[in-house]
Amino acid sequence: MRPSRTTLRAATSTVSAAVLATTVLAGAPATAAAATPESAPTATVSSASPSVRFVDIKGDGGITLKANVFTPAGADGTRRYPVIVLPTSWSMPQIEYMAQAKKLAEAGYVVVGYNSRGFWQSGGEIETAGPKDVADASKVIDWALAHTPADPQKVGMGGVSYGAGICLLASAFDKRIKAVAALSGWADLIDSIYSGRTQHLQAVGFLNGTGELTGRPSPELRTILKNFLTSDLTTEKDMIEWGRKRSPTTYLDKINANGAAIMLGNAWGDSVFPPNQYARFYEKLKGPKRLEFRPGDHATAEGLGLFGLPNDTWTNTQRWFDHYLKGADNGIDRESPVLLKSRSTGAYEGYKSWQDVASTQRKIELGGSRQIHTNWDSGANGGLIFLSSMLDQFLRLPPMASIPLLPRSLAAVWQSERYETGQRVRGTTRLHTTMTSTAESGTAIAYLYDVGPLGIGKLVTHAPYTFHDKTPNQPFGVDLDLFSTAYDVPAGHRLAVVVDTVDPLYSEYNPSGARLTFSSPASDPSYVSVPVRD
């Protein structure tokens, strides 16, 4: 008899919990039980280490949330400690944060990590950071205040990816939350997975597959994903409204009114939640705030820290909590609040605001007229989800293409002059052009390449763009923000702008035989504006 998926989830969760707990708590003479009800006594690891117990917490509607609780060593009920709540990432088990939770508990925090509803052994269905997930966060805070020596005046939330989104949403609806660290998350869900009105196919396919494997998607989520992946435009408005309800930017006024200190962290190459939407959200926050961007893909900038390894993102996360929950005078509030790490040099740079990142705009004129055929991959593309940006993060090997060999019938190409000095690209590149299509719908992908003397282009940034309901053969204007980045173009190199119509990362709407023409009218010249730090 073949075991069911639920049985496999249960077995995997139990084994994973035992292995990771043993790793995190190595050297302790006692271990916690694998699953303990709320009323069960704490299983203390040792008198010199934080105690840990596994508990069941009642979430919204009475469903069970599987959780683990770390309490500082020596806690005897005579004092209160700041508390940090950590909702898990998409498809991750409840042990995800144990290494960091132990470190935080050693620093004097009560830490509650819990499995988001619908995943693994937690009850309910996957609501994709819907109202029930937000209510769960408050239920976990309620539980922590009632069952641990947690200080109700010093409540923080943190999380990676899905957990980050839940943290930001919860900060809009629960005034008790004083500090948030939202790592590799989203502020605008639709602008993340549907930017340029284009389905981010690989990203959503990955979320869909892992959600089915490790959880129980709600009927609403299954319908949304089915319509999304089949490009059903009749349901586009419903999808956008569904995403709007799950976007922290929708509740920006409430977040600002509650005044939590918010730290945002992300990677330049995040293929699930690109950095642009986080930067825009950051600029609109009114309370204490911090923005950090590093090389990598989704959750890879902070990923090694989940295993307890040294990690800058988690170090700053603890400093953030130390200052805004403990009142520690560690200087993080006096540092430049925008911290960027260059993809090219690995050096950190601090800025007063996102607007200060670029000091100059270098324009590349997109002169003349270019016509390309659709439905064929020119060879220019954004790479593969996770793999490409991780190669860039660890080996500085972004996706590459031979610019001279790109077929001009499939790719429109423009190049800058050769730069005599290095160009420090910082921020958001913007494309402005006039497009004409032989069809009413279509998709184009714009790329910016760093081109060396041999014509090999290294991808600096890119973004997709889709249009519908256009009159065939009638020109229309296009303005597109490419994904924000920090990349250094060496002296002697050029920048190349490439536009084609097919990229494995995205869905496309180009009918067979369609053609796209890019022009630059004298009254409205076409260009790409590249943000450069002098």
3-state secondary structure 3-56: CCHHHHHHHHHHHHHHHHHHHHCCCCCCCCCCCCCCCCCCCCCCCCCCEEEEEE
Tens digit of pLDDT for each residue in 500-524? 999 999 999 999 999 999 999 999 9
Q: Looking at residue 43, what is its pLDDT?
A: 34
Whether pLDDT at 210 is above 80: yes
pTM: predicted TM-score of the whole model, two decimal places: 0.91
Q: Looking at residue 283, what is its pLDDT?
A: 98
DSSP secondary structure letter of residue 291: E
Mean pLDDT of 356-371: 97
- The span from the CA of 16 to the CA of 359, in Å, is 49
Integer angstrom CA distances of residue 487 from 19, 113, 215, 394, 431: 40, 36, 38, 15, 18
Q: Is 106 helix (H, G, I), strand (E, B) or coil?
A: helix
48 falls in which pLDDT band (50, 70, 90)? Answer: low
Whether pLDDT at 18 is above 50: no
Token couple for 101: 């939770």
Other beta carbons less than 10 A from residue 94's beta carbon = 26
Mean pLDDT of the chain: 92
Q: Looking at residue 84, what is its pLDDT?
A: 98
pLDDT over 90, % of the chain: 89
- The span from the CA of 104 to the CA of 84, in Å, is 9
Please count the CA atoms within 13 angstroms of the CA of 108 that sit on its side-chain side.
14
Tens digit of pLDDT for each residue in 320-334? 999 999 999 999 999
Q: Looking at residue 231, what is its pLDDT?
A: 87
Whether pLDDT at 19 is above 70: no
Contact 158, 263 (CB under 8 A): no
**246 compared with 29, residue with greater pLDDT:** 246
**532 compared with 1, residue with greater pLDDT:** 532
Lowest mean pLDDT among 5-9, 110-114, 158-162, 258-262: 5-9
Token look-up 């954004």 returns 382
Mean pLDDT of 78-97: 97
Q: Looking at residue 77, what is its pLDDT?
A: 86
